[in-house]
Chain A
Amino acid sequence: MRDPSPRTWAWDTAVRLSVSLYRVLLLRYSRGLRARFGREMAEAFRALLEDGVDRGGAAGFASGWWRAVRDLARPLPGGPAPEDDRGGERRMGRMRRARVAGWLEDLGFAWRSLRGDPRFSGLVVGVLGLAMALNVGVFSVLRAYLLRPLPYPSAERIVEVRPVTDVSWRQVGDLFDRAVSWDLDAFTLVGGERPEMVYGAWITPDFLDVYGVRAALGRTFRPEEADAGAAPVAMISHRLWRERFGGDPAVVGRSFRAFTSDRPDHAESFLIVGVMPRDFWHVNRYTDVFAPIRVERAVYVGRLRPDVPLEVAEAGMTELARATTDGLPPDFQVRLTSLQEAYTASLRPTLTVLQAAVTLVLLIACANAVVLLLVRSARRERELGIRRALGAPAGRLVRQLGLEGLLLAGGAGMVGVAVPALLLDGTRAAVQASLGRSIPGGAEALRLDGTVLLVAMGACLALGLVLGLVPAALLVGRRTIASLWSGSGRGTTESAARRRLRSVLVAGEVALSMALLAGAALMVRSAVHLQRMDLGFDAERVTRGEVGLRRAGYPEPEQRIAFFETVTERVRSLPDVEAAALTSSAPFVGTIDPSPVEGEEAGDAARRARVTISAVGDGYFGAMAIPTLRGRDFGVGDAAGAAPVAIVSRSTAERLWPGGDALGRRVRTLPEVEPGRRLGYPEPGAWHTVVGVVDDVTRDLRVASDGQVYVPYRQQAGFWMSLLVRRRPAAGDAAVADGVERVLAGLDPDIPFSSRSELDDLVSEARAPTRFMAWLLGGFSGFASLLSLMGLYGVVAYAARQRSRDVAIRMALGADAGSVTALFLRQGLVVVLAGVALGALGGLALGRALAGDLRGVSPEDPLTHGAVAAVLVLTATAAVWAPARQASRAAPMGVLREE
């Protein structure tokens, strides 16, 4: 024996506890072996552990345990000779086999029992499977957008700097290990068949590094290529490579000539050093040219140094901003937001609401399945009672019911994964279009990955437990034997607990459906509102495109005005064209944050408004069919030298000069220094005299404003204008675009008609997310309501069947059919009303969660909520009435004779 001295008290305790545990584990062996050698086996285990600890401490302890556990997991050895051996194994095998066989038998039993009732099983698996499929689908979308990290190195440290300050990316090295800035620009590519304007970005040297870009072809930039005076180089997008360069594999080393805004005098030649990967996305989807930045820019985005916490970086940036810009308000504060959060902020509420909605659908489906199972298990009460009476242990019955639940959940899980797996490939494009944002990790990131499957499996398991255990617990909890002695089992009092549970579940289903229906109705009303909403202008048959002039070719405002006027006139005279006009920003093109303006003679805040400002050409209001309410349109007289004028929209006029006449009043822009917004102009603009009032237009569905202020472009002639062209009803859009391009080519061969789009397409795209939500929520709530009506019908029909004898006696004693119907109707309606009342509260909560997506309807809109409740009560009454009436129609004597 070893000297036990090296063992400590802690090890002794561990050994003692282990031996106690091992004694319990010995139950795995046969009773005979335990009786004969149990104590000695425990002692041997103790010796094993003690020796192990003496020899190797923790490792020895672990190896002792490992030896015993492995031993426990093995079959016992057989006798000395092979014959005995086989005998022993046979005996062991029999025991194990018996145990396994018991499970298999019950599984088979459960399977046959479900297969014997295909309508029930099919219904439960189908309904639950569909609900699971919705959940898996929505969750995979949620994961692709919100949960997967952005596909950049150290993505969690990449932050957006807001508001954008005057702090240059060169100044922030202490806070960021890589600071990123860019300057979006339009590159007019010349030298090809026709000029083409593409969006490009001048980028800081670290840009590609932060986003971890590897060139698909060629290389990324070298540090010296960002130096001042270096020869211009560029990387081009995958799209541009394919479309303009024909996918030429030898494109690297070729050059293209382009006009850019900072060297407008002549087209520069850019050497192509690389092609961006196809799935690279940043800034926007359309950036086609990347070149090293040549001017000082404020930092937009950066990757924080690993040792700098977010709060420290925020404080540091705020301090730098104060040092750089004078006169910042005392509460000015720079905020750093994770790029992922910034990118997905607008989607978060939508996706969360969708996920909540499908989770509700799953809950309803689950409640429905439990109700169906309860009804079914009550039907099987006699069968189970007999089995119990014949000696089947309660545990066995529970196991069988549990296995049935697991089988149903497993089937539902398979449907729930298979359906999205089959459909996901085809829906990626639609999902991105409907949400209005591309998936951060590329379209391929929307897939059923491990996490999604794991969550699905967890949901499936939980479902199985609920479906298996609830009915089993209710069933075995009572003395099912009673039903044996009560004749057919009908007419006996049914378990009150089960009846109550059924009613509560159905009421819950009705409540959840009510909530979903209310949410869906609100969304549908928003979508209808947006669809029918008077935009204030006519978007039909309007082609919009950008016309950009080079600084060098048109340095003077007069030259630019002359050019734009000639273009407009020539386009107007094209045979297909009904009207044409210029504007600095067409409606539904991009999002423009409203700017603050103030009306004259008003020092107080009440006379301020936030409006969208655009510079327009003559005839804009006519071309867009915007009604002029008072005053006049702009004209040739509103030129650069003349008094500044403006036209305001109705709401702006009412806001700035309530109750008064806007004509002749003056309006000017205000400086804007507000946290969360870009630092604006430090000085107020010039006063403009109002010469006309027009009707309001909807510029954008997302950003609300107090109306519009228009100024004549002749007084602020920029280099870029949107040309809006309304064609005649019979004309095609391509022909019109072709005509415009010919007009431009006739004036200047280097100027393209770029970013062409149809105005009504833009409007439709802007409406898409609301429409999408309305459709989805409408579908979900429809499905949910169908389920709860089904549950309601099933429960009432079942109750009626249960009490058919009772009813028959009443009717035999003279009760009329009406009073019987009323009896069931009353009982059903109590459940319905309780559900609707509860659901109304849920509907209000859901409405509030949806508030950001609602348009033209308030989240608490009483009409919507009331109508939904009324519809639900009516349909539910029908679902209750049908089986109630049936019950009253059964011939009383027939029922009684059945006994």
Chain B
Amino acid sequence: MDEPRAPAPLTPVVFHVLLALSGGPLHGYGVMKRAEQDSGLVMGPGTVYGSLQRLEDAGWVRATEPEGNEPRRGRVFHLTGRGREALAAEARRIARLARLHDVRELLPEPERP
């Protein structure tokens, strides 16, 4: 909480993809839907798979062949440990920013006489 250096912020798309996957493995379309439900972020297939590609390259998510009855939708993506850490750090950063905002803006200074 009191790190001297704030962790580098994630891009909103990446943050929301990670957030969507934090609830469990999903395929790309699932990520799209979950992100929309959670935060109203509307993404297309290009954005979702573009991000997943980079996240997989960075080792934050892992793709596995689907089990069971949804082969058509393709592979499902899991959050890795590093991915989970990055998500947590970003969530903390956002929470701290929100608190700062609360203190400074939402509690206005009393008017001077």
Contacts and interface: CB of A to CB of B under 8 A. Distances in A.
A39 interface: yes
A37 interface: yes
B57 A40 contact: no
A80 interface: yes
A545 B78 CA distance: 103
Interface in B1-48: 8-11, 13-14, 18, 27-29, 32-33, 42-48
B54 A84 contact: yes
B55 interface: yes
Nearest to B57: A79
A77 B29 contact: no
A85 interface: yes
A78 interface: yes
Interface residues of A, number: 36
A144 B40 CA distance: 54
Nearest to A25: B46
Contact of A40 (B27, B42, B43): B27
Given A33-B50, A74-B47, A77-B13, A47 B42 contact: no
Interface stretch (B67-75, B92-100, B101-109): B67-75
Contact of B49 (A37, A47, A83): A37
Given A70-B44, A71-B46, A76-B50, A40 B74 contact: yes
B11 A29 contact: no
B85 to A, nearest CB: 11
B13 to A, nearest CB: 5
Contacts of B88: none
A76 to B, nearest CB: 4
Interface in B46-96: 46-55, 57-58, 60, 70, 72-75, 83, 86
Given A41-B28, A76-B46, A47 B53 contact: no
Given A40-B27, A44-B48, A80 B54 contact: yes
A497 interface: no
Contacts of A84: 54, 58
Interface string A62-103: 000001111110101111111111001000000000000000
Contacts of B28: 37, 40-41, 44
Contacts of A187: none
A793 interface: no
Contact of A71 (B43, B74, B75, B83): B43
A28 B44 CA distance: 14
Contacts of A68: 44-46
A43 interface: yes
A139 interface: no
Contact of A80 (B14, B44, B72): B14
Interface of A: 1, 26, 28-29, 32-33, 36-37, 39-45, 47-48, 51, 67-72, 74, 76-85, 88
10 contacts: A37-B49, A39-B74, A44-B49, A71-B43, A71-B46, A77-B51, A79-B55, A79-B58, A80-B54, A88-B54
Given A1-B70, A51-B33, A80-B60, 20 more contacts: A29-B50, A36-B53, A37-B28, A37-B49, A37-B74, A41-B28, A41-B45, A42-B45, A44-B29, A44-B74, A48-B45, A67-B44, A71-B47, A72-B46, A76-B50, A80-B10, A80-B55, A81-B8, A82-B9, A84-B54
Interface of B: 8-11, 13-14, 18, 27-29, 32-33, 42-55, 57-58, 60, 70, 72-75, 83, 86
